[in-house]
């Protein structure tokens, strides 16, 4: 009986707050994205145009810009040295399109300038991938068999949590760079306010997912202590 209520208490303390924040963050980004996707920037420039302009004036003429399917699937891939923009970002001149395009260019600039947090994140990628793929399997083994598997699974999961924590300054800095670049003759003051709202809403989703991951880690550590 204690174990049942203990697990329920763990959920309320460690998991539920983060999940509620995640739901709020998702609603926030959907709202901001939908709103400012309909607000034209009046620049005559598409997300692709703005990305190219910012890349070129930062000496990144060798970075390609390609289309990618999906919604909010935009990213910069350092392995291919290419920017990938979804159709709504690539083709449109809305405030949201330009904000997100500029944000992804921010990541390209980070890599080119040797920004320390993104170098740390890149170094964590192999271990984080292993952790995300195997940690839960090992944790399940640990729950039914040996606590050794549980401890190894928790350690691997902790690496994925560390990866998410390191991602936060990377994303915040990319948004800061985006706003700075957009303010240099691309967006007017009013549109800059809109782009800031889009990027702040996106940042909240990263914060929420990190809090969920930290909560899950704390819950697993509490479970491990009880088993010991």
pLDDT at 100 over 80: yes
Lowest mean pLDDT across 79-83, 141-145, 208-212? 141-145
pLDDT at 197 over 70: yes
> What crossing angle do the helices spanning 147-182 and 189-227 adopt, rounded to 10°?
170
Q: How far apart are CA 41 and CA 57, in angstroms?
A: 21
pLDDT at 188 over 80: yes
Structural domains in the chain (count): 1
The secondary structure element, H or E, covering residue 64 is: strand 64-68
Closest to 45 (Cα-Cα) out of 93, 96, 101, 95: 93
Helices (H), 41-115: 47-57, 87-90, 95-113
Residue 122 located in a structural domain: yes
Is the sign of the CA dihedral 89, 93, 94, 100 positive or negative?
A: positive
Closest to 165 (Cα-Cα) out of 109, 222, 217: 217
Residue 215 located in a structural domain: yes
- For residues 215 and 14, the answer to whether their CB atoms sit within 8 Å is yes
Residue 193 located in a structural domain: yes
Partners of residue 75 on adjacent β-strands: 84
Q: How far apart are CA 79 and CA 102, in angstroms?
A: 19
Residue 195 located in a structural domain: yes
Residue 79 catalytic? no
Q: What are the tokens at 91?
A: 């083709």
Q: What is the pTM of this model?
A: 0.87
Q: How confident is the model at residue 71 (pLDDT cuts 50, 70, 90)?
A: confident
Residue 20 located in a structural domain: yes
Is the sign of the CA dihedral 134, 136, 137, 139 positive or negative?
A: positive
pLDDT tens digits for range 4-46: 444 556 666 777 787 888 899 889 898 999 999 999 998 889 9
Residue 79 located in a structural domain: no
Closest to 55 (Cα-Cα) out of 116, 111, 117, 106: 106
* Three-class SS of 111-161: HHHCCHHHHHHHHHHHHHHHHHHHHHHHHHHHHHCCHHHHHHHHHHHHHHH
Residue 157 located in a structural domain: yes
**Which one from 64, 79, 104, 200 is the annotated catalytic residue?**
104
Range of the domain at 168: 2-40+94-227
Residues 140-146: what's their mean pLDDT?
78
- For residues 175 and 203, the answer to whether their CB atoms sit within 8 Å is yes
Partners of residue 76 on adjacent β-strands: 83
Residue 85 located in a structural domain: no
């Amino acid at each position: 009986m204690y174990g049942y209520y203990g697990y329920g208490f763990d959920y309320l303390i460690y998991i539920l707050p983060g999940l509620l924040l995640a739901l709020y963050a998702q609603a926030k980004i959907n709202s901001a994205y939908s709103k400012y996707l309909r607000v034209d920037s009046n620049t005559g420039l598409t997300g692709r145009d703005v990305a190219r302009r910012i890349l070129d004036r930062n000496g990144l003429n060798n970075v390609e810009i390609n289309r990618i399917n999906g919604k909010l699937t935009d990213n910069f891939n350092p392995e291919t040295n290419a920017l990938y923009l979804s159709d709504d970002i690539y083709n449109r001149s809305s405030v949201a399109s330009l904000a997100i395009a500029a944000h992804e260019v921010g990541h390209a600039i980070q890599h080119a300038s040797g920004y320390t947090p993104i170098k740390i994140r890149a170094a964590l990628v192999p271990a984080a991938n292993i952790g995300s793929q195997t940690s839960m399997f090992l944790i399940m083994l640990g729950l039914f068999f040996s606590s050794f598997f549980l401890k190894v699974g928790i350690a691997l999961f902790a690496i994925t949590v560390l990866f998410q924590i390191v991602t936060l300054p990377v994303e915040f800095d990319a948004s800061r760079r985006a706003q700075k670049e957009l303010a240099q003759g691309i967006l007017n003051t009013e549109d800059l306010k809109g782009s800031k709202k889009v990027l702040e809403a996106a940042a909240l989703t990263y914060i929420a997912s990190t809090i969920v991951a930290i909560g899950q880690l704390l819950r697993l550590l509490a479970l491990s202590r009880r088993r010991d």
